[in-house]
Amino acid sequence: MNDDTAERLAGIHAAAFPAPWDAAALADLLTQAGVFAVEQPDGFILLRTVADEAEILTLAVRPGARRRGLGARLVREGVAGAAARGAARLFLEVADDNAAALALYARAGFSEAGRRPGYYARPDGGRQDALILALNLPVKLP
């Protein structure tokens, strides 16, 4: 991992989210044990594995590249990477009003494992619940 990689990922994250992670935060994450990224020109997925569990930290796809299968490919590659690193279960958190992400993760086989009330801060000052989704590994994705 180098500074160019963190800058590139930060640019994708900034295009994808209203409250993006900056290059310094991404660079710091990428130096931590168990953290890995799968990167494509218009998107990336960042995961962390610890013992036999893994977590999707973020999945970002540039708006102009959405609805073309990139998110699904990144999830498949992230799942494979987590399984290869010994994870038996993969978790993530997603806003309960993010219909596109919920559909993506449902197609990949994730199911609801819990809820975090008011987890996400919204630009208007409101709060949004997060759903905790889980996937048992290894799994063959469609």
Say whether 77 is catalytic.
no
The HSE-up count of residue 2 (CA atoms within 13 Å, CB side) is 1
Nearest residue to 54 via CA among 70, 67, 73, 38:
38
Per the annotation, the verdict on 120 as an active-site residue is no
Q: What's the pLDDT at 58?
A: 97
d(CA 72, CA 75): 5
Residuewise pLDDT in 10s, the chain (142 residues): 556 899 999 999 999 998 899 999 999 999 999 999 999 999 999 999 999 999 999 999 999 999 999 999 999 999 999 999 999 999 999 999 999 999 999 999 999 999 999 999 888 889 999 999 999 997 655 5
Helix 70-84 / helix 99-107 crossing angle, nearest 10 deg: 50
In three-state form (DSSP H/G/I as H, E/B as E, the rest C), the secondary structure along 107-119 is HCCCEEEEEEEEE
pLDDT at 2: 59
- Helix (H) / strand (E) containing 102: helix 99-107
Q: Where are the beta strands (DSSP E) in 41-126?
A: 43-50, 53-61, 89-95, 111-121
Catalytic residue, from 39, 55, 93, 112: name it.
Answer: 93
Angle between helices 3-16 and 23-30 (to 10 degrees): 120
Q: Give the pLDDT of residue 123.
A: 82
Respond yes or no on whether the N-terminal peptide bond of residue 20 is cis (omega within 30° of 0): no
Q: Which residue has the tokens 């290894």?
A: 138
Catalytic residue among 7, 39, 77, 105: 105
Q: How far apart are CA 81 and CA 115, in angstroms?
A: 26
